[in-house]
Amino acid sequence: MRQKGFTLVETLIYIALFAFIIGGSILTSAQLLQGSSQTATKAGIQEEENFVLRKIDWSLSGASSISVPSQTAMTVTRYDGNTVDFRLNASAVEMRESVIGTYLPITTSNVAVNDLKFIYIPVSGTAPAGVTAQIIVNSADASTTKYLRK
């Protein structure tokens, strides 16, 4: 007499293989999600850094003079007569334009700025004055250097 179906041993082997395949796919999915989350976090930090540096670059592109009263503060006088001030306040970078009058944050609360440094570069020979701005967010740093037009 021929019986159709699986034996108990065959059934257990199929269940074990199925569990192994499902477990591997769940582990792989979790790792992919974790990796994409870390990538999104890094991208967000980089976007914050780039935005601050673009604002600083914008203010310096039309600058007639630069003043760096401390390493974490800078005042830029533009050719149109307006002044733009930058400062590090706790863990946020703030900017104030003379036409607005109050400091407004230019970084979001999603990131904490560890350090902001302005380094004044004095006039030397034929080289004009300039400034280097360096921002450090979550141990990732970015910087830009800009010189005044003659």
Does residue 66 lie in a domain region?
yes
Residue 137's SS3 state is strand
Token digits for 54? 């673009």
Does residue 3 lie in a domain region?
no
Q: What is the pLDDT of residues 4-31, one digit of tens each?
A: 777 889 899 999 999 999 999 999 999 9
Q: What is the pLDDT of residues 27-67, one digit of tens each?
A: 999 999 888 888 888 888 888 888 888 888 888 888 888 88
> How many structural domains comprise the chain?
1
pLDDT value for 100: 83
pLDDT value for 1: 64
What does DSSP say about strands 104-105 and 92-97: parallel, antiparallel, or unpaired?
A: antiparallel
Share of the chain above pLDDT 70, in %: 99
Output the pTM of the full model: 0.72
Q: Which domain holds residue 14?
A: 8-147
Does residue 107 lie in a domain region?
yes
What is the separation, in whole angstroms, between the first and last Cα of the chain?
103
- Reading phi first (left if > 0) and then psi (alpha if -120 to 50, else beta), residue 48 is in alpha
